[in-house]
Structure 1
Amino acid sequence: MQSNKFLRLFTFLLLPVFFFACNNDMEDDLENDFEFQHVVNYEFLDSISTDEISARFGGNNLVSGFVNFDITAHRITYMTQNFDGSEVEASGLVLIPIVKGSAKLTSFQHSTLAKDPNPSIDQEDRAPSYLPENNVEIHLSAALFASNGYMISAPDYIGYGSTGDLFHPYEHAQTTATTSYDMLVAAREYAEFLEVNMRTEGETEVEELHLLGYSQGGNSTMALHKYIEENHSNEFKIIRSAMGAGAYHKTAVGDYIFNFEGELDFSISLYLWVMDTYDKVYLQRGMGYYLKEPFATEVSDNGYFAISNTNPQEIFTDEFIAEVNNPDSEFRAALADNDVHDWRAEAPIKLYHSREDALVPYFNSVDAFENLTANGSEEVLFETYEFGSDVPREDIHGAAGGRFFSDVISRYFASGL
């Protein structure tokens, strides 16, 4: 079986070299004995050596101990459901370590990628399935995890990659969870096709699973963890989940952002995007209900990043702010439907957050830790980062992201600490 696995993998890697001569015959031979149920299309992207991965980190000795395996990169597409119930063909990246034993299946949820009509702002080309060099999460972190033996399933999310022409339902918990879960199922099937051995729980056939993500990826990871345990606990055995700086407590975030008086320390664009997502999913009122002029027209015409004003009281309508503060309102219900901080987790979770984070308030992780623990979750850990004056406040969210990925691979996933 082991020799068959490598034969299939390396035959697959040679497809681009011999494609001109065999005209799909070799690829057809690979598929003849395998019937896909979840993968719609697949494409080999690249093979990446340990030397290349080490070079990406400048030969850093602290990183070298985690660079153990060459990896291969693949793009797959699969069917999933959008927020409106329509079926779409979504895409994602699969990174496979060339291990002699078994790989550790891992769902890697990426952080925010801007969607904007302005090409200088839009970050579609950083979606995972493009194998982007300009996305450090993928080019550095995901590659490092893969080289350490983790098989990476990285969904693009709806709105990127093969669905790049669609609206991205930013931080809509249900869509994020199902899109990521369906990608995992497809990635597992793709691994089976390539005869990659996956680590399972004891003698069972249930694959062990790791989850991680930072910022939007942290929120997505929490939503995915909750979704799997509540709906598909027999499909995967979650070993550990690592979540950094996610906006888990949406009702509290709504209170904070929309009632804030004065200038925020950051652009309000991402919160406009969340607001617009919940309007499209639940309410369909249009931008004019939420924003005063000229802001409503500016956002409608030029996107969320068109507004430089950061004072919520000058941007949002009085009617909308009153609704945010009404516990029985429809928008308040939409926020609550996306709260993922208050439930009981069976598998271990570790939360990471910087106390000084200006973009995603620290209370999100505090509230998640307190509620998950109070609800009797099996194991919830919480690590607080402190940066002080050495790092500008506007840079802390990003700086904490780099520390998060380092701590997860070197400590939490390795030893549970």
Structure 2
Amino acid sequence: MLQKRYILRYFVILFISAFIFTTCRKDDVPEYEHFVRNTLASSYSESYIDALLSYAGQSYPEIAGLQQHVTTGVNVYKVVYRTMVGGKRIEASGLVSIPDVPGEYPVLSFQNGTNTLNAACPSEDPGNYMYQLVEYIASMGFVVVIPDYPGFGSSSDIPHPYLLSEPTVNSITDMFRAVNEATDEFPGVQLKNEYYLIGYSQGGWATMSLHKYLETEAPDEFTLAGTVCGAGPYDLYHILTGMVSSESYPVPAYLGYIIYAYTFYDYIKNPVNDLLNEPYASRLSTLYDGNHTADQINSQLSTSIPELVKEDFRTNYSDAKYSSVRNSLVTNSIEPYNTQIPLLLVHGDADTQVPVSSTNLFYDKMILAGTSSSVCTKTIIPGLDHGDAIMPCMTRGLEFLIDIRDNK
């Protein structure tokens, strides 16, 4: 009898120990609202970054001024997180680049320009030369966030919501939230509630949309310190009107991207064949699948606008029939307002893809809305087309943001 009692006690103790052990292990795994996982993609030493910037400076002399700010190496992570697109929860992705020296750092978010190829998004191609240059910004004392945007990386199974403000802003702020809540997953790093934004082309528009959202709708959650927007299509109604009324446009992939995304996500109610001629209308849905470059898409469309776009749409753009087109463009444009946060707008004056008038008009309207000219400044770079102005925009913009940070 005594032996049975000891055996029973042994099993009770064993059961309780096992229960406590498994319970503790379950509790040790954090449950995050947004963060899903991260994986180390690459690491770069301070000396490597310094050497590569020296090499890059041979092609882009303006980079030389940034080398003085390099103080650490960096670790680059691919991050997967939860967000919402079209009323559905998805897993989106991007890159986070952090200094390899422990400390508390502000956040800098980079929004890239138009991309149609999944293999070329940040998390799928972190070793891309241009992405590397952005990743290296972490060596200058920032935690750098580089979103893929929905439709790329971990969410490549859905169409990219191109130039749609709500899913764009939501996905970026949810990435901020994911990194904020999971700092333990990034050893040695703490985040300051201090955010800097920079982006070019589509990224310029996304950055300005984000700037306005953080300042006007989420100031208690995110403290925005400064923003740089390059060559963004801020007034989409103005941009598309210019496209469809012209005789030619060099990058028809942009026009097709807008029509495809806006019809797929039910912003434009018209069928595609109301807007585009055949065979372009029928082939549009096959082009934006993440497997085609912009050049490949351009070759399947036409730079001749009369050939590409339906004549009725071009000549009767203001008719009620096309009201959903006009309304959706207005909805996703950025309404100028009185910002109190330092903002730099940059554009090349020879831009044939996003006309410099986009920045000039937006700047003028921001000033008319009450923004001080000392808060919102504008730099127009002479003689540079869309692609040529990227590096000057980034280097001047980064100096602008570093100056704000260092003089806070």
TM class by shorter chain equals 0.7 to 0.9
- Asked if 1:223 is matched to 2:209, the reply is yes
Letter in 1 for 2:226: R
* Gap change, CA 1:221 and 1:302, over 3 Å in 2: closer
For residue 132 of structure 1, report the CA deviation from its aligned partner.
2.4
Q: What is the CA–CA distance in structure 2 between the aligned matches of 1:30 and 1:111, rounded to whole Å? A: 41
Shift of 1:339: 1.0
Show the counterpart of 1:69: 72
SS at match of 1:226: helix
Cα separation, partners in 2 of 1:359 and 1:139, compared to 1, 3 Å:
same
1:361 aligns with 2:355: yes
Question: Percent identity, aligned pairs only?
Answer: 26
The CA deviation at 1:148 is: 0.5
1:70–1:97 Cα contact (<8 Å) kept = yes
Shift of 1:67: 2.0
Within the alignment, does 1:47 sit opposite 2:36 as a pair?
no
1:144 equivalent among 136, 139, 142? 136
Does residue 85 (structure 1) correspond to residue 77 (structure 2)? The answer is no
Of 180, 193, 196, the residue aligned with 1:188 is 180
In 1: Cα distance, 2:103 partner to 2:283 partner: 55
SS of residue in 1 equivalent to 2:233: coil
Which of 369, 386, 399 is residue 397 of structure 1 equivalent to?
A: 386
Q: 1:225 to 1:359 in 2, by over 3 A?
A: same
Which residue number corresponds to residue 285 of structure 1?
270
| Paired amino acid for 2:34 | H
* One-letter amino acid of the counterpart of residue 336, structure 1: V
CA contact (8 A) 1:53 1:143 kept: no
The match for 1:104 is 106
2:115 to 90, 98, 113: 113
- The answer to whether the 8 Å contact 1:245/1:352 transfers is yes
Provide the secondary structure at the position in 2 that maps to 1:324.
coil
Structure 2 residue identity aligned to 1:386? P
Alignment map for 1:15-414 (pairs within 5 Å): 32=28, 34-59=30-55, 60=57, 61-82=64-85, 84-114=86-116, 123-136=117-130, 138-140=131-133, 142-193=134-185, 194-199=187-192, 207-260=193-246, 262-264=247-249, 266-281=250-265, 282-302=267-287, 304-322=297-315, 324-326=317-319, 329-377=323-371, 379-387=375-383, 396-414=385-403
* Paired letter, 1:361: P
Give the Cα–Cα distance (whole angstroms) in 2 for the partners of residues 67 and 131 of structure 1. 23
How far residue 252 of structure 1 moved from its aligned partner, in angstroms, is: 0.6
C-alpha distance after superposition, 1:213-237 (max 9, x if no partner)? 1111111101111122232110111
RMSD: 2.5
The one-letter code of the counterpart of 2:311 is D
Matched residue SS, 2:388: helix
| Contact 2:107/2:196 (8 A) holds in 1 | yes
Unaligned runs of 5+ in 1: 1-27, 115-122, 200-206
Do the aligned partners of 1:246 and 1:364 also contact (CA within 8 Å) in 2?
yes
Cα deviations across residues 214-264 of structure 1 (Å, max 9, x unaligned)?
Answer: 11111110111112223211011100010000000111112100111x233
Structure 2: distance between partners of 1:322 and 1:383: 35
Change (3 A) 1:319 1:224: same
Q: Residue by residue, what CA displacement relative to the aligned partner does 1:87-141 show, whole Å, maximum 9, x if unpaired? A: 1111111111134542121111111112xxxxxxxx31222223522351x111x
3-state SS in 1 of match to 2:70? coil
Deviation track 1:390-412 (CA, whole Å, cap 9, x = no partner) reads x6xxxx21110011111122244
8 A contact 2:46–2:73 mirrored in 1: yes
Q: Which residue of 1 aligns with 2:291?
A: none
CA contact (8 A) 2:269 2:324 kept: no
Deviation sequence 1:358-412 (CA, Å, 0-9, x none)? 011111111211122211235211110002xxx6xxxx21110011111122244
Aligned residues of 1:46 and 1:74 also touching (Cα < 8 A): yes
In the alignment of these two chains, the number of paired residues is 363
Structure 1 pair 75–412 and aligned structure 2 pair: CA distance change class (3 A): closer
DSSP 3-state at the match of 1:399: coil
Question: Structure 1 residues 31, 156: closer, same or farther in 2, change over 3 A?
Answer: farther
What is the deviation of 1:49?
0.8
CA distance in 2, matches of 1:98, 1:252: 45
Any idea what the Cα deviations from partners look like across 1:310-332, whole Å, max 9, x if unmatched?
Answer: 12122111332245334882211
Moved more, 145-154 or 37-46: 37-46
- The structure-2 alpha-carbon separation of the partners of 1:317 and 1:73, relative to structure 1 and needing over 3 Å to count, comes to same
Name whichever of 289-298 and 151-160 sits farther off.
289-298
Aligned equivalents of 2:340, 2:66: Cα separation in 1: 32
Larger CA Rg, structure 1 vs 2: 2
CA gap of 1:56–1:131, structure 2 versus 1, over 3 A, is farther
* Aligned equivalents of 1:143, 1:29: Cα separation in 2: 35
Q: The residue matched to 1:47 in structure 2 has which SS?
A: strand
Amino acid at match of 1:407: R
